[in-house]
Structure 1
Amino acid sequence: MTVHDDITSAQRSLDDLHRSLARLEHQLDRGSLEMRRVRLDADHLRESLALLRAAAAAPDAARRPDLVTISDTPYDISLWTDSDDEGLGARDRRAP
């Protein structure tokens, strides 16, 4: 299956969930805390799936960022001559 097919399948399942929740709301107390929480969670899932669908449809979705190679060779020590030792303060001064 492609990503598009999987997202479409998930959308169908969410649609079924919303229909089932609508039936439950008629049978149970619509204003109950539990029912509102389930409805809100289902709405969040629907919004998240819409965002996922938009991200998958973007042309850059399949493209990974370029990797940067970091060399294992040590840095030139002269780069650090004007800096303080982190957390230790300056070399020529004492702590207050």
Structure 2
Amino acid sequence: MAIGSMFSLLATASAGLLVLSFANGFWFLSSVRGWWLLSHQNIYQASKPETAPLVATEVVSKAAEVVAEVITETVQTASEVIQSENRPPDAI
């Protein structure tokens, strides 16, 4: 996703489409942040075959928690920006 976002960013920036460039930059940074978060997770090594489903369940659960935290942070930031007093006059 990061590579595709980077190529899209370059294409839209070279075409002069600044709004799309910012959107592609956002997706590139989000994918890099996601990669960074996943690379710093503790990954459990399954020593026995019967523990593999339990480990998979824990990994999926942890990934769901991380996604929920990211969504919560994004919604909170968006609501703070919407409720901000520094909005342009035409946004009232």
**Does the pair score TM above 0.5?**
no
Bigger RCO of structures 1 and 2 (CA < 8 A, at least 6 apart):
1
Name the TM-score, length of structure 1 as normaliser: 0.36
Q: Between Structure 1 and Structure 2, which shows a larger proportion of helix residues? A: 2
Based on CA coordinates, which of the two structures has the bigger radius of gyration? 1
